[in-house]
Amino acid sequence: MIFASTLNGLVSPDYAVFNPIGDANVEFLGELFRSPKVRAKFRAESKGLGTGSSGFMRRYNDRLGAIHIALPSCAEQSGILAGLAGELSGVNTAISRLEREIELLGEYRARLVADVVTGKLDVREAAARLPEAADQPEALDDCEALFEGDEGNAGGDHDAAPEETEA
């Protein structure tokens, strides 16, 4: 994982610390290095066992120079970061809200379990207040029934592209 850090601390032999040279915005480099295309370049320069995103791959620091990346000017880097922040602000807000909801649900669950265990909540009484179970839809015996009357695809190949006809 690649990220910009403002922290000082220890580094293990499996991690390296790099400082940018020239006109490079560290935050921009962090975003760029996490992009799928650059990650693929890093993976191509890595050695080890595994395929895809799994396995034990290692990119040796001396191979970092073999990865060529076009770098826009500092002004363009700042503009790209500003645009990215604007595009992601709604997503980040939604993520924050969902994380908070998950946290609250965890707290509610813990409290509910504690109340049941300590006897503060009578499960029988709570179960009696639950709404009636909704009718469950019947399972389809034959999925082809969904496609009855589909003359345009009588052969049964529902994944095939529709054929074009002239009017």
Q: 63 is written with which tokens?
A: 């191979």
pLDDT one-digit tens code per residue, 34-47:
899 988 888 888 77
pLDDT one-digit tens code per residue, 73-117:
999 999 999 999 999 999 999 999 999 999 999 999 999 999 999
Q: How far apart are CA 51 and CA 128, in angstroms?
A: 53
**What is the model's pTM?**
0.52
Highest mean pLDDT among 20-24, 52-56, 99-103, 139-143: 99-103
114: Cα separation from own chain's centroid? 33
User: Between 75 and 70, where is the model more confident?
Assistant: 75
Q: 50 is written with which tokens?
A: 């595994």
The full set of domain ranges for the chain reads 1-71, 74-128
